Amino acid sequence: MKTNVLLTGVVAACMAVFGWQGAHAQASQPVVVYQAFQSIQYLPLYVAIDKGIFTKNGLTVQKITAGSGAAGVAAVIGGHADFSLQDPMTAMLANLKGASLINVANVVAGVPVWVIAPQDSPVKSLKDLNGKSVATALPPSTSTYLLQRLISDEKLADVKMNTVQIGTELAPVTAGRSEAAALYMPQAETGISQGYRIVYAFPKAYPGGYAFSTIDTLTSTIKNKPKMVEAFVKSIGEAEALIQQSHDTAKAVARTEFPSLDPKIVDSAVQRLIDQNIYAPTPEISEQAFRNALALQESIGNIKPGAITYTSGVDNSFAAAAVKAR
C-alpha cells in the first residue's frame, strides 16, 4: 500500500511538472519578423533568436528574409508579419501612402557605411574623389543616398557613381572600373583585409546616432497585442546588452549565421561594428537619431519637411520600459 501511495505521488508530481511545461509551451506566442536582408548589421535579432532570449520571454520567433526593406514593410501591412526590420524611413514612406506603422526598437544605431580604396589608389581623401568613379549599391540604398549627400556637401566635382547590386561593390574596383567603393559590412572588412584603406567612415559623421535600422509594427498590433510587443522589444534589448557585455558571444552567433564567410572576417567585422557604436546599446530610438535618418530622406526629396515627425514615427514606451527593467 505504501508502494502504491508512493507511485501515486510520483505520478501526480510528474503530471504536475509536465502539465506545467505543456501549459508553458502553449503559452509561447508565435511571432513572425521579416528582415530586409540577412545582414551582419542585424546581429541583435540573431542573438535574440540563437541564444534563446525570445523563447525565455515567451515568444517563438520565425525570421523571414524579405529581400528588401519595402517587401518587409509590405508583409507587416498585409498581415503576414508582426514586425519588420529595415530602414525606419521605409515604414514612414508607407505611412505617407496610408499605412499605420510605428517604430518600436532600434537595432542599428549608427551608419555602417565606409568608403574604401586600394592601398595603391590615388584616392587618399575625400577631395581625391573629384573626377573619380565610386562603386555603390543600386538605389534605393541608404549607402548610395548618403554618398550622394556627401558629394553635395563636400562640393566634390564630376564624381561618377557606378551603381551595382548590393554586396558586389568591390568587384568594379578590383576590375579597375572604379577607384573606390562605398559599402557595408562584411564587404568593407573583406576589402580592408585585402589591403584596402578607409577613405571615409560614415559612423564618425553622426556622433548623435542614426536610426539606420529599426523594428516596426502596426499601430493596431500595439493596441491589440501589447504584451507581445513588450516581450519582443525586451528581447531585442537583452540581446543588445549581451552583445556589449560579451563580444565573444556576438562573434560566435555571427559565425553561425554566416557560415560561408571567413570566420576572421566575421570576427573583425563584428568588432568594428561594436567599436564604432553601430549596434544599438539599447532598443530606445532617440529623437536625434530618428531626425538624422529623416533628414536624409528630406534632403533627397523622398519626404517633405514636416510630413513625418518623431512623435508620429516612434513609440519609445516599450524600449524605455525594457531599459528601466534591467
Read off the pLDDT of residues 26-52 as tens digits, 9 standing for 90 and up.
579 999 999 999 999 999 999 999 999
Report pLDDT digits (tens) over 266-298. Answer: 999 999 999 999 999 999 999 999 999 999 999
101-113 per-position pLDDT tens digit: 999 999 999 999 9
Confidence of residue 78 (pLDDT cuts 50, 70, 90): very high
∠ CA(203), CA(287), CA(234), 5° rounding?
90
- Phi, psi for 272 (deg, rounded to 5): -65, -40
**What's the fold here for domain 26-110+209-324?**
D-Maltodextrin-Binding Protein; domain 2 (3.40.190)
Q: CA geometry: angle at 112 spanning 149 and 32, to 5°?
A: 115
Interval 291-319 mean pLDDT: 96
Range of weakest confidence among 12-21, 148-157, 217-226, 270-279:
12-21
Among 165, 109, 170, CA closest to 141:
165
Query: Which architecture, in CATH terms, is 114-205?
Result: 3-Layer(aba) Sandwich (3.40)
**Local structure of 219: helix, strand or coil:** helix
CA-wise closest residue to 182 among 125, 229, 116, 226: 116
CA distances from 3 to 9, 13, 156, 191 (A): 10, 15, 89, 72
- Beta pairing, strands 213-218 & 101-108: antiparallel
Query: Coil, strand or helix: which one is 200?
Result: strand
114 to 11, 134, 136, 211, 269: CA distances (angstroms):
63, 12, 11, 17, 12
Q: What is the pTM of this model?
A: 0.90
Residue intervals of the chain classified under CATH 3.40.190.10 are 26-110+209-324, 114-205
Arithmetic mean of pLDDT over the chain: 92
Q: Which residues contact 40 (CB under 8 A, 6 or more apart)?
A: 185, 186, 254, 257, 258, 266, 269, 270, 273
Checking if the pLDDT of 59 tops 70, the result is yes
Selection from 241, 215, 210 nearest residue 228 by Cα: 215
